[in-house]
């Protein structure tokens, strides 16, 4: 929509006058303005996300250093908020995810019954953890939090996984697949 020029006024002066009037209206009617913006944004959410996706793709295509600049911006942000804050946020997210896993797999070690949350790990019942992680992508990347996230996204499957404490897990992995607790129980039952 073109701005009407007053007699003796250039188009640029008319645009500036119109912009100043709009700014003054927004300042005087701030709540009404924000409410209208929120309603418009909600109504056009899909259009906006598609627009933003196309805009980002265009920027990446036109500017090879776009990714590098994004990394620089991310690094500045990390410097601003600090490593300690990021570490704390990461730890909190990891603990929440591990707690969900703990709840989903029965709150105790499947072998010895230990209930110490911090000792719990997930064990591939068939001993095929390395093969399984390889099918998910880079095996070194699918450990800890990423693996717990995969478990959550998969609905915490129980057919090939069990929760074990670190001692039982290590004993099963380093021995012949048998934990000393299982041997003790077998001896107690037979003797």
Q: Domain locations in the chain?
A: 12-63, 83-190
- Spatial neighbors of 25 by CB under 8 A, at least 6 apart, are 33
Instruction: Determine contact, residues 163/121, Cβ cutoff 8 Å.
Output: yes
pLDDT one-digit tens code per residue, 73-128: 788 888 887 778 888 888 888 888 888 888 998 899 988 888 888 888 888 888 77
Lowest mean pLDDT across 15-24, 34-43, 122-131? 122-131
Structure tokens at 19: 């912009």
Residue 150 has pLDDT above 80, yes or no: yes
Could you give the dihedral angle defined by the CA atoms of residues 81, 82, 83 and 85, in that order, rounded to the nearest 10 degrees?
A: -60
Task: Report the pLDDT value the prediction gives residue 25, as an integer from 0 to 100.
Answer: 92
Put simply, whether the predicted model's pTM sits higher than 0.85 gets the answer: no
């Amino acid at each position: 929509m073109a701005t009407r020029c007053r007699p003796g006024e250039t188009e640029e002066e008319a645009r500036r006058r119109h912009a100043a009037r709009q700014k003054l209206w927004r300042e005087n009617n701030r709540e009404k303005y924000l409410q209208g913006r929120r309603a418009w944004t909600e109504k056009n959410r899909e259009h906006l996300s598609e627009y933003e996706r196309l805009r980002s793709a265009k920027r990446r295509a036109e500017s090879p250093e776009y990714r590098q600049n994004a990394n620089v911006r991310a690094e500045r942000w990390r410097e601003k908020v600090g490593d300690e804050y990021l570490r704390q946020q990461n730890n909190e997210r990891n603990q929440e995810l591990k707690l969900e896993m703990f709840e989903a797999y029965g709150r105790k070690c499947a072998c010895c019954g230990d209930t110490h949350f911090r000792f719990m790990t997930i064990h591939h019942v068939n001993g095929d953890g390395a093969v399984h992680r390889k099918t998910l992508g880079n095996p070194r990347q699918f450990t800890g939090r990423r693996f717990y996230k995969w478990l959550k996204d998969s609905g915490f499957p129980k057919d090939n996984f069990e929760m074990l404490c670190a001692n039982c897990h290590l004993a099963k992995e380093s021995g012949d697949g048998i934990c000393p607790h299982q041997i003790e129980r077998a001896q107690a039952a037979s003797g």
